[in-house]
Homo-oligomer: A and B are copies of this chain.
Amino acid sequence: MAAVVDAFEQEVQRLARSLSRHAAEHKPSLFEARDLLGRMIEWSLEDESLRVALFRFVDVLPSLGSSAEIGRHLEEYFSRVDHALGGLVFLAQALRAGTLVAPIVRRNVVKLARRFIAEESGNHLETVLAQLRKEPAAFTLDVVGEATVSDSEALAMQKRYLDLLRRLASVSQSWPIIRQIDQSPYGPLPRVNLSVKLSSLCARFDPLDPATESVVRERLRELFREAARLGAAVTVDMEQNAFRDLTLAIFRGVLEEPEFGQAPVAAIALQAYLKDAEKDVRELIRWARRRKRRVGVRLVKGAYWDSEIAWAKQKNWPIPAFLDKAETDANYERLSRLLLEGHDIIDAAFGSHNLRSLAYAIVAAKQLGVPVNGYEIQMLYGMAEPVRRAIIQNGQRARVYLPVGELLPGISYLIRRLMENTSNTSFLRQTYADKKDIDSLIKPPAAVVRRSVAAHEPQPAGGRRAFQNEPPIDFSRRENRERFRATLDKVRGQLKSRRRAGEWLESVNPANAREIIGRVRLTSVSDADEAIDGAARFFPEWRDTAAEKRAEILFSAAGIMREKRWELAAWELFEAGKGWREADADVAEAIDYLEYYGREMLRLAKPRNTQWLPSETNLYLYEPRGVAVIIAPWNFPLAILAGMTAAALVTGNCALMKPAEQSPVMAEHLLAILREAGLPDDACQLLQGGGELGAHLVRSPKIHLIAFTGSREVGLEILKQAYSHRPGQTHVKKVVCEMGGKNAVIVDNDADLDEAVVHIIDSAFGYQGQKCSAASRLILLGDVHDRLLSRLIDATKSLKIGPPEDPRYAIGPVIDAEAKSRIAEYIQIGKKEGKCVLEMDAPAEGFFVGPVIFSDVDPQSRIAQEEVFGPVLSVIRARDFDHALAIANDSSYALTGGFFSRSPAHIEQGRKEFRVGNLYINRGITGAVVERQPFGGLKLSGIGSKAGGPDYLLQFLEPRTISENTLRHGFMPPEEQDGNRARGS
């Protein structure tokens, strides 16, 4: 067996070496320093910071409207580059070029891009295709476009696909059949071949939304139908891992439809860097055999590696890709063989520039008896011409992946390709730029132990694992969607419907007020006083309970919550009107608070030695304050209540929870979990009621601490009441206070609008804008104003409104009738103050309010200054970035805020001058994560206490200093003593 393997391996290396010799005659244009940017790419290979600056500059360039803007960005990006040579040479050239530099640069980038992306208009595309077929090389077209954020954009993309199919079908009539590229063992191959990204076919490709599958299937069906009619081929591209299951499902689903039994020629891309790729390959082969339908598989290594890692880390999910390049390469070879073994039903296409990988596939095909035209090699346009030439000379069918489209939307493609082919593990880079020895490049891939990512993992501390955020449920997985659906049904079965009068508080489903979530007994004033006394009596015992034990109770509660997370999210969905992801996120955040504050207390519980003195120990330590009242809002009914309560409890205070009237049931759940985790009854009591009850608690002279999250009006009144000393009060109360926000998002002229639109919608309309962090002011700079606003309106229009248990509805109800009418009032005010550019219909039943957008809003108007707490966005026009910052800061709130910009100088300026508690750059402004983004506002948004941050627990504690003289008649204790002493004898 070893001998067989060895012979095979020898053959692979021989072929790779032979291909390499042929390829070596030319250099890929990518690595030719033909012009300014060519030279910069060359330099960037030597310097990572220059490479980043270059790619970021290329990324922003198409969005820059003027030469002045280009010049400014050039300077911002490259004056800070470390690489002395690259930076200096480039800047020198730029300076020499004077005012001409900007147009030169733009011309250069356009030239650069055109080496990789064909022009859609005119006849450039036809010229390029004719040249390719002369080599001869087949092609597949990739249509580059803006990220699709609305239905109109999705329909426009579909139209472009259809138009291209028709246009090329017509053109291709005149192309002669070329045996090497147009013929397979099973017959002639379509000369027209289109690659399609499914995410471009709908407003938001969301696996959770059942509409995604039906809408995309519908649109893909039309493409397939047209391709079948025209005799063209369609390949479905693979995007990020989160889209994979749904992409495969749609691909197979459409092909299972009777009309697509044999036509069109269809293929799908699979990514070898994914750990699950082998499973997908095997399933696809099984499916095709069962279905008796040939399908193509384009095997690639994968182009989203950075992003997959980034996204997984953000959510604390397992990383779906191999971390080791060699593992990916080895998997690629394994999958190549698998695909070739399935050549009875699979048309394999090997997409790679790596000669070793390609040689492996070719030799394996030979070994398995697959004819040379029974598979093909695919490569990117403009990246690896010499390799392509060698492959063609070797007799294989080569197909070029050719992007077509405009420069601006093509940048995303361009960056991805430049990045991967200039990364220091790229075969091309190693061959042509780093000039590595061919022998080292064609060795069989061997897994290398990967330390670097693991080294960044939090290390366990003191036996207990370091804090890690609770991962949200991955609703891109079907089993999770099904489980939550079942949980919703189960919980709904427990809802009540009859009403009961008297001292009961009833909680209703805001999407359907006839549905009663639960009823709880209202706490009377005398009950409240009794609760305070009970807490005060129990306090010394709780205070003196070891911090470790208190923390353990939090950890247990977190464990219980983890087990019950499905049910809890379901209850929250019904009680608070939250969507699936939002409800789940609130539960995960509650778990985070328990785990984080528990660990924080373990850290703070250790007394600190303030100074080393031989004769005196000086300890600095923290102790709890006493009885804490927790007044929590309904919008994060579990997380905020749990967070404030956990902070109070773990620090040793007794807590009296006063949840919002609108979410009493979630509070009951929390209390039950804390009890189950072993919390003594008197340590935490639940008092149900409204503002009157809260006010009574706040005024009590026996209360030591008030932790409040809610409206400004209530917060300021609490502060006033709490700091007015009352008879019988023997301490100063402490107030931890988070109030509202009127949060602004700025969009700079050079912003990435694809990203901005998506994040603005999330931030403004997520949970119907009922978050203190929600975006309610959108400040747009002149150049982007109209374009962004129109995309935003279109994208928002694609959102559907309805009860949140059905995940097709992105917009649910607001919390209650009062909220609905308050928001309606503000909409009326807004209509007077600004221009209503979007108002959507909403169901009349339930407390629904559709998203509303006002444009041309005066920064000083009420709609731009007052917190609406609903899905209402005020758009303000700004002259420039300074003006935008001034508008953003001109508010008495300062909770969250954000901006989208790709100008290093503006990012730096915004960082300093956009004065809010939580500032977000180039991302959404909601969804602060415990520990990662300590959360809390300035000005009248709060007192700067940051929940989920390292200083939060200090507010619940009082420091004490204990100094002990340890010298007794000149005799020091041993720990401070030292062996070598000078005393006489």
Chain A residues within CB distance 8 Å of chain B: 48-49, 51-52, 55-56, 59, 271-273, 300-307, 309-311, 313-314, 321-325, 327-328, 332, 351-354, 411-412, 415-416, 419-421, 423-429, 448, 450, 452-453, 456, 544, 608, 610-616, 618, 620, 623, 625, 716, 719-720, 722-725, 730-732, 734-735, 737, 752, 892, 902, 907, 911-912, 915-923, 928, 931-936, 938-940, 942-944, 946, 949-951, 954, 957-965, 967-974, 977-985
A332, A354, A450, A732: which has the most chain B beta carbons within 10 Å? A732
Contact A960 B918 (CB under 8 A): yes
Q: Of residues A59, A428, A611, which shows the largest number of chain B Cβ atoms within 10 Å of its Cβ?
A: A611
Q: CB-nearest residue of chain B relative to A301?
A: B984
The CA of A300 and the CA of B984, in the complex, are separated in Å by 7
A-B contact pairs, 6 of them (CB 8 A): A59-B969, A303-B970, A325-B980, A352-B985, A716-B725, A730-B940
Q: Are A332 and B971 in contact (CB under 8 A)?
A: no
- By a CB distance below 8 angstroms, the chain B residues around A313 are 613-615
Q: Give the residues in chain B near A981, CB-CB below 8 Å.
A: 305-306, 325, 423-425
Residue of B nearest to A311 (CB): B615
Taking CB as reference atom, which chain B residue is nearest A380?
Answer: B985
**Contact with A916, one of B907, B936, B960 (Cβ below 8 angstroms):** B960
The chain B residue sitting closest to A914, CB to CB, is B962
Cβ contact within 8 Å between A59 and B971: yes
Distance of A381 Cα from B427 Cα, bound (Å): 89
Contact present for A964 and B425 (CB under 8 Å): no
Excluding A48-B977, A426-B985, 5 further A-B contacts by CB distance (< 8 Å) are A309-B615, A314-B615, A416-B971, A421-B985, A921-B964
Are A970 and B419 within 8 A (Cβ)? yes
Given contacts A425-B981, A911-B962, contact A737 B732 (CB under 8 A): yes
Q: Contact check, B303 vs A984: say whether CB atoms are below 8 A apart.
A: yes
Is A946 in contact with B961, judged by CB distance below 8 angstroms? yes
Give 9 closest A-B pairs by Cβ, nearest first: A301-B984, A310-B615, A723-B723, A944-B958, A305-B983, A48-B974, A923-B965, A921-B964, A328-B982
By a CB distance below 8 angstroms, the chain B residues around A610 are 931-934, 949
Contacts of A943 in B (CB 8 A): 732, 734
- The answer for the CA separation of A616 and B315 in the assembled complex, in Å, is 12
Tell me how far the C-beta of A482 lies from the nearest C-beta in chain B, rounded to whole angstroms: 30
What is the chain B residue whose CB lies nearest that of A430?
Answer: B985
Give the chain B neighbours of A920 by CB distance below 8 A: 963-965
Report which of B425, B625, B974 forms a contact with A49, defined as CB distance below 8 A: B974
Cβ–Cβ contact B618 & A938, under 8 A: no
Best-surrounded residue of A310, A412, A980, A983 (most CB of chain B within 10 A): A983
Q: Which residue of B lies closest to A429 (CB)?
A: B985
Residues of B with C-beta under 8 A to A412: 969-970
Minimum C-beta distance from A405 to chain B (A): 15
**CA–CA, A616 to B307, complex, Å?**
11
Which residue of B300, B314, B352, B974 is within 8 Å of A616 (Cβ)? B314
Q: How far is the CA of A577 from the CA of B608 in the complex (A)?
A: 36
Is B940's CB under 8 angstroms from A731's CB?
Answer: yes
A731 touches which one: B56, B615, B939 (CB < 8 A)?
A: B939
A930 to chain B, nearest CB (A): 10
Contact status of A321 and B424, CB under 8 A, knowing A613-B314, A977-B48: no
A48: chain B residues within 8 A (beta carbon):
974, 977
Cβ–Cβ < 8 Å partners of A450 in chain B = 980
Q: What separation, in Å, do the CA atoms of A235 and B630 have in the docked complex?
A: 72
Neighbouring B residues of A949 by C-beta, 8 Å: 610, 620, 959, 961
Partner of A306, one of B354, B614, B917, B936: B614
Give the complex CA separation of A481 and B516 in angstroms: 84
* A49–B310 CA distance with the chains assembled, in angstroms: 54
Task: Indicate if the CB atoms of A919 and B962 lie closer than 8 Å.
Answer: yes
Residues of chain B within 8 A (CB-CB) of A723 are 719-720, 722-724, 735
Central interface residue in A722, A735, A957, A981, by most chain B CB within 10 Å = A981
Q: Contact between B921 and A967 (Cβ–Cβ < 8 Å)?
A: no
A923 & B963 in contact (Cβ 8 Å cutoff) = yes
Report chain B residues within 8 Å CB of A942: 732
B52 and A974 contact, CB distance less than 8 A: yes
Residue of B nearest to A932 (CB): B611
- The residue of chain B having its C-beta at the shortest distance from the C-beta of A719 within the complex is B723
A124 to B400, CA, bound (A): 115
Please pick, from B52, B302, B892, B954, the residue contacting A971 in the complex, using a CB distance under 8 A.
B52
Q: A961-B933, A981-B425 are in contact. Are A970 and B307 (CB under 8 A)?
A: yes
Chain B residues in 8 Å Cβ range of A416: 969-971
CA distance A421 to B917 in the complex (A): 63
In whole angstroms, how far apart are the Cα atoms of A272 and B452 in the complex?
59
Whether A301 touches B963, Cβ cut-off 8 Å, given contacts A456-B612, A731-B938, A971-B55, is: no
Measured between alpha carbons, how far is A963 from B616 in the docked complex, in Å? 44
In Å, the complex CA distance between A313 and B967 comes to 13
Bound complex: CA of A327 vs CA of B983, how far in Å? 11
A495 to chain B, nearest CB (A): 38
Task: Report the bound CA distance from A452 to B272 in whole Å.
Answer: 59
Q: Report A7 CB to chain B, min CB distance, Å.
A: 27
Task: Assess the B980–A415 pair: CB atoms within 8 A.
Answer: no
Q: Which B residue's beta carbon lies closest to that of A945?
A: B959
The reply to whether A980 and B324 contact each other, CB–CB distance below 8 Å, is: yes
Residues of B within 8 A of A321 (CB): 982
Write out the residue numbers on chain B whose beta carbons fall within 8 Å of the beta carbon of A957. Answer: 944
A900 shortest CB reach to chain B, Å: 9
> In the bound complex, what is the Cα–Cα distance between A916 and B959 (angstroms)?
10
Decide if A963 touches B614 in the complex (CB within 8 Å): no
Complex Cα distance, B609 from A932, in Å, reads 8
Whole-angstrom distance from the CB of A274 to the nearest CB of chain B?
10
Task: Assess A985 versus B725: contact at CB under 8 Å? Given A415-B969, A612-B456.
Answer: no
Let me know if B425 and A980 touch, CB within 8 A: yes
Nearest chain B CB to A398's CB is how many angstroms away?
16
* Given A620-B934, A958-B938, also A982-B305 (CB < 8 A): yes
- How long is the Cα–Cα vector from A180 to B434 in the complex, in angstroms? 96
Nearest CB of B to A208, in Å: 22
Contact of B928 with A962 in the complex, beta carbons under 8 Å:
no
Complex interface: chain B residues within 8 A of A448 (CB): 980
Contact between A984 and B273, CB atoms less than 8 A apart: yes
Q: Give the residue among A304, A450, A939, A969 with the most B Cβ atoms within 10 A.
A: A969
Note all chain B residues with C-beta closer than 8 A to A972. 306, 310
Decide if B919 touches A983 in the complex (CB within 8 Å).
Answer: no
CA separation between A983 and B300, bound complex, in Å? 9
Contacts of A962 in B (CB 8 A): 911, 919, 921
Q: Is the CB of A983 within 8 A of B934?
A: no
Task: Contact check, A979 vs B309: say whether CB atoms are below 8 A apart.
Answer: no
Chain B hits for A420, CB < 8 A: 983-985
* Residue numbers in B under 8 Å from A944 (CB-CB): 625, 734, 957-959
Q: Are A984 and B352 in contact (CB under 8 A)?
A: yes
Closest-by-CB residue of B relative to A51 is B974
Which residues of B have CB within 8 Å of A959? 917, 934, 936, 944, 946, 949, 951
